[in-house]
Structure 1
Amino acid sequence: MKTSITLLALTACLLFAGCETRSISDSGYHHDRGYRGELNELSVLGVSTSGNEITEQEIADALKNGSPEVGLKHGDTIVLIQSGALFPDDGMLDGLKTAYEVIPLSGVPDNGNGPTWMRSDSKQEVPPLDKSLRLVAARGGASYMIVYWGQLEISQEAYATKAVSWIPIVGGVLLDEQQEMRIQLKIAIIDVLTGDWNLLTPVSYEDKTNTASYTRHSQHDDQVSLLKTQAYEEAVKDITQRYN
């Protein structure tokens, strides 16, 4: 009877599909309780979000000047920040250390604005995020900052076998779910002195795996680790080839 149920379940169609998006700074199977969200991208790049008036002349001048090329060079000292994380991931940090002197800083925001280390107990107005980051980088002797964001797009498809996944088979249990995952990065290279910036979007990577209930947590973590490794290697390659 159990064999019949198993064969029937294996040949059934997919029952349902689900998808979600997570930050690379909150990529675990269970969400990290310490995760507080992302740095505001526009604020990091020096775009005012306070409602101050921007004139047509400012837009025309910016367009006339064109997009400047940041002059990052091999051996320069940089500040590295991963949005949403207390510390940059090892893959990005170790990779960039092969070409630059790297100062890692926290990218954990406070109230959706700047990193927690920018805040004080006073109620004074917080300075613009981009200038605060540039100032702390300058005080550390860094000429450039690299700030990066990343997201994981995750899709799960549960098979009909999910209802009977407890039935043992040779070597373990039934695979009852397929998880497809894609990682995408966005990287800002910022000149500390001028505030000029370039934006890189390395190629995205995908992976698909079949999972069972007893091993789903570890398989998820392995999949995240694989994609991060691939994405960070490509990101470091893009940066060093473009600026060296």
Structure 2
Amino acid sequence: MRRNKAAPAQRFPAPKPPKKTSGVVFDAQTESEEPRTFRLGVVPGATPGKWVDAWKQRMPHVPVEIVPITVAEQRAAVQDLDAALVRLPLADDSLHLITLYDEVPVVVASIESHLLAADELTIADLAGELVMVPSDDPLGPLDIPGAVAPRFAPLPVAEAIATVATGTGIVIVPMSLARLHHRKDVEHRPLADGPTSTVALAWRRERTTPDVETFIGIVRGRTSNSSR
């Protein structure tokens, strides 16, 4: 009796191992997404660089447009932006606000000013000084007993600091603005008892979009894998 030979076993190729990734997880862009830009307003002196860099890594398909805005017009400007870095106070119930950091106030004076002999100043040290309040003042009204008011119209911060360089008066601004408009003929000193300037992230309550939530996560230090 002949025995039927067993059919040869079928062989299948071994599955290929998954490709290794770099470990960086980006927010996925679906085919249904429309091309868009994330518009971020920024007041003078605010520094969004590290957050913008993180956004470019996490959301490479959505460009960031930095829109310069002024403190005086920041409330209205937010209405046309996805979000903005603003200076507080900003009272508006239609906006969400997240406090980010505080800035130290400094006194900007000519390099020939006697005020620079001190490493730190107080409001009492400014009695008798001509104190300019910029037209785009980021700190609000300051009560400086004995200070002299200028006889000319308020100037923007950059022009006020240029005037200080001539030896006329002083100006008090957040440290970032003193650095932004730094000149060789002026220096600044911290004002120990002066008001700090708080920088915050603002956006419209009805416009809390996925992009805004992603940017909020970035400024709060959350990673791509963190839950919102």
| TM above 0.5 | no
Larger radius of gyration: 2
Greater helix content: 1
TM-score by length of 1: 0.27
TM-score by length of 2: 0.28
Greater strand content: 1
